[in-house]
């Protein structure tokens, strides 16, 4: 349970960092960032697998690059449900999702494998 809260706080901090770097992504405060991280996790757990199946032909045709578009759409969808978390269009959502993915990979590499 503690690990879940640590992951939630790290995800919220990364969302705040991404909002500071990418123009067009706005997060008002920590509460919005934490709610955004929760909703993004829920969207990635429920909606993303359905969208993966539905867009499989595009993913195959683009050699997996369409997954980057799908990540942007999931971030944009999550922002629609959280007050204080706004994304101005698909461009910022795409760049934000790309940066968020890279930062998550960096954090996972720094922390290393978990038992």
* For the chain, counts of helices (H) and of strands (E): 5, 2
pLDDT digits (tens, 9 = 90+) for 22-63: 999 999 999 999 999 999 999 999 999 999 999 999 999 999
Quote the pLDDT of residue 115.
Answer: 58
Whether this prediction's pTM lies above 0.85 is answered by yes
pLDDT digits (tens, 9 = 90+) for 68-77: 999 999 999 9
Quote the pLDDT of residue 111.
Answer: 87
Domain spans of the chain, in order of start? 2-103
Cα 13 from Cα 20, distance rounded (Å): 11
How many other CB atoms are there within 10 angstroms of residue 55's CB atom? 16
Cα 55 from Cα 43, distance rounded (Å): 16
Quote the pLDDT of residue 20.
Answer: 96
Angle between helices 2-21 and 30-54 (to 10 degrees): 90
Structure confidence at residue 67 as a pLDDT band (50, 70, 90): very high
pLDDT digits (tens, 9 = 90+) for 84-115: 999 999 999 999 999 999 999 999 899 887 75
Residues 6+ apart with CB under 8 A from 58: 66
């Amino acid at each position: 349970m503690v690990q879940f809260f640590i992951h939630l706080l790290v995800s919220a901090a990364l969302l705040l960092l991404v909002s500071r770097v990418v123009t067009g992504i706005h997060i008002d405060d920590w509460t919005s960032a934490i709610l955004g991280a929760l909703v993004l996790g829920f969207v990635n757990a429920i909606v993303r697998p359905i969208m993966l199946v539905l867009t499989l032909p595009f993913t195959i045709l683009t050699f997996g690059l369409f997954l980057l578009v799908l990540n942007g759409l999931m971030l944009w969808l999550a922002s629609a449900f959280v007050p204080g978390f706004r994304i101005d269009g698909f461009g910022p959502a795409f760049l934000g999702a790309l940066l968020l993915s890279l930062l998550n990979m960096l954090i996972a590499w720094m922390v290393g494998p978990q038992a």
